[in-house]
Structure 1
């Protein structure tokens, strides 16, 4: 399992030296890495806290996980509208401080015997809500911190650290619960958020954000502006549709997949965990490939090819019938390819979204795409369970894995597939009554010069 230090070197190699020498970018990278470690550690610690310390049953555990995920659907659009009006550094620092205090208080309460499941539900929702704020803010912050021609490399570094956190966070959370105790494990998540707070608050560069009018538009109007902007842009609209198709099919497929591995292939729980963990190292490789491939082959072709490869590779699972050793090796390879290709798609899509979106619309665009994409996942999970009961595991896996290919098909049939090696031109935001910050328009137009011919937009 890669350590944090290896993630640093991997991500560091994917960033041009001029960007990596930027102290403010390094502070953002360190803070985001620590935050992601804290978030993924907490996602494991809180359920284990409920089961081991509070004796929660399966139903209660399901409620706890649902409550922690609910802020994505309930708050994403509002957070996007709110973040666009504030400095992202301020948002990230405040949310880090809030998560540190909440988890620290939860750990103290547990050590004193004052905690119960209702309190843990409040903690899960609060941490999840603050994580939505942080995730939207850090995606918007990169655009305000680096030049647009550095977006792909910057996103590669940030996504690489997130991938490392996805590997190390759950393992660290499980180990800390086993070696320490559930309350002290919760405190370990607070430590990571505190480290993120200390790093991000040291960012000194002044952000260029739109001026606030004397009478700012209401939040519902700002949400509507974000929705209208995403729907009105061909690339962003395609990203929304492809994301919704992928998340729906992937949630259905994973429900079947997690039943298929132990019941059809007779794998132990530890082996299943090992196979799934291969996604993380693959994602680290994908973050480095994403810094190079679009500039060589074009953003559109790389998006379509990577999505087709990563989504289609799960069809290979249906061919597995052999010895356990061969099966496990094949599953490791399948999950590794899925992680690498999926990360190429993630980084490239994020760079395209940031390039075509004005600074004053970054938070709302990110939140709208997250809302539309992740909103289909619960329905997909329900469908996967229904198909597994009615059609059997192997047939259900075939149908749901094939359904994931809808995402690259949607992209291939759209102008997004024709994006070239240069990122497209930033679009004008809908009128909001707020003038753009001085210097932003000039920087955007200069960075996008010549992109219209390249992309055909």
Structure 2
């Protein structure tokens, strides 16, 4: 596939430092900038919607659990189909269309807010629509990186993209919390601007993609989904990633439902302080992205995955011990969320590098979607469980129980072949030509 950009990967790039050649590529920079603003819009909305329900609509634990579950349901319902679909289409097209659609959805909700119709039913519809479109965008941007850069640049590229997600985790929650002091229409519409900026940046990517297996005889969607499921199930590393991710995301969804109730009601934090507490994961995640570019190559991918998961997940066990009357509550909360953000992000980037390295070029979208489906498909049930436990056991007890459940994830990794992965990752059986990453 010819490249329309003079600074795209060329054979001579193989003699340049990986990081240098990566950032000299204008198309990668456009992907990075677009993904950053898109994630910022998404993380802002993820805080605004539940906080609006809790603080303005006075939603109870069950209603908050339902709202979060509805927003996460598209992961379970759509991931496998999206993976099979994205593998056959240009990822740039998928990303710009989903950005535009999310901007329109949030704009329509803002209009409903101006008209006084932004109640819980509208929030439920909005959460589902934005969640569904985000599934498309997330699978597409993960697949796009593999088509855009050389395989030896994947870890650096993932570190940069996950670092941008970290920046979104810094700005999004803080902005979302601050916006709760403004009219609801402004708070909800804030994400639309970021999706527009993402649309403009990603739309300027000049490299033309040739999606794999795009022919009249391409297998049907059902067969392609089965191929993705079989591939992930037969690979020991990917299979473990699925199981560990499922355990983590299920427990995290339950924990976050209790957490969003615990901060304003047990610790008596304002919306702005809740946003600040959530934003503390962002600087940690940024540090985790930087560490992910160095630690796996020094200590081994498996050792880093297990140790980082133990430390990061274990940090949340300290949150239920906090009390609003203590002067050290807020600093301690910020430190806990910083540690969680650092080591969770280290796990995220390392897992993504492992998945991309061992997955053939034409299977990237389906592998990403299969792992998303299995790993995050139970999150709606986790959110519902978190709301139920908070109502039945009390917020503090349910938060302790659900955060303890997150320790199952590192246990599964430690008992699997994934823990034995060394400093060098195994290569997939097929790869795009090394001279031009996007060619096929």
Same fold (TM over 0.5): yes
Identify the residue that residue 425 of structure 1 maps to in structure 2.
427
Identify the residue that residue 152 of structure 1 maps to in structure 2.
155
2:186 and 2:321 mapped to 1: Cα distance? 44
Q: CA deviation at 1:314?
A: 3.0
- Tell me if 1:31 matches 2:22: no
- Tell me if 1:19 matches 2:10: no
- Tell me if 1:139 matches 2:119: no
Segments of structure 1 that go 5 or more residues without pairing to the other structure are 1-14, 429-439, 447-457
- For residues 347-372 of structure 1, what are the alpha-carbon distances to aligned partners after superposition, in whole Å with 9 as ceiling and x for unaligned? 00011111111222111111111111
1:368 to 359, 364, 370: 370
Q: Structure 1's 315 and 126: CA in aligned 2 closer, same or farther, altered over 3 A?
A: closer
2:192 to 190, 193, 212: 190
2:55 and 2:154 mapped to 1: Cα distance? 43
- Tell me if 1:443 matches 2:434: yes
Segments of structure 2 that go 5 or more residues without pairing to the other structure are 1-17
Contact 1:52-1:182 at 8 Å conserved across structures: no
Identify the residue that residue 351 of structure 2 maps to in structure 1.
349
1:224-373 pair list within 5 angstroms: 224-257=226-259, 267-270=267-270, 274-317=276-319, 324-373=326-375
Q: TM-score, normalised by structure 2?
A: 0.83
Contact 1:279-1:337 at 8 Å conserved across structures: yes
Q: CA deviation at 1:184?
A: 3.7
1:106 and 1:397 mapped to 2: Cα distance? 31
The number of residue pairs the alignment matches comes to 416
Query: Larger relative CO (CA 8 A, sep 6+): 1 or 2?
Result: 2
- For residues 60-107 of structure 1, what are the alpha-carbon distances to aligned partners after superposition, in whole Å with 9 as ceiling and x for unaligned? 666554433321221111111100100111111111222233333443
Identify the residue that residue 433 of structure 1 maps to in structure 2.
none
Contact 2:66-2:384 at 8 Å conserved across structures: no
Q: Structure 1's 174 and 262: CA in aligned 2 closer, same or farther, altered over 3 A?
A: closer
Q: CA deviation at 1:340?
A: 0.3
- For residues 279-316 of structure 1, what are the alpha-carbon distances to aligned partners after superposition, in whole Å with 9 as ceiling and x for unaligned? 22111111111111111111111111111111222344
Q: Structure 1's 38 and 316: CA in aligned 2 closer, same or farther, altered over 3 A?
A: closer
Contact 1:209-1:359 at 8 Å conserved across structures: no
- For residues 117-136 of structure 1, what are the alpha-carbon distances to aligned partners after superposition, in whole Å with 9 as ceiling and x for unaligned? 65554443332221111111
Q: CA deviation at 1:326?
A: 3.3
2:274 and 2:112 mapped to 1: Cα distance? 35
Identify the residue that residue 124 of structure 1 maps to in structure 2.
127
1:70 to 68, 73, 76: 73
Identify the residue that residue 4 of structure 1 maps to in structure 2.
none
1:381 and 1:261 mapped to 2: Cα distance? 16
Q: Structure 1's 273 and 267: CA in aligned 2 closer, same or farther, altered over 3 A?
A: farther
1:46-61 pair list within 5 angstroms: 46=49, 58=60
Contact 1:34-1:192 at 8 Å conserved across structures: yes
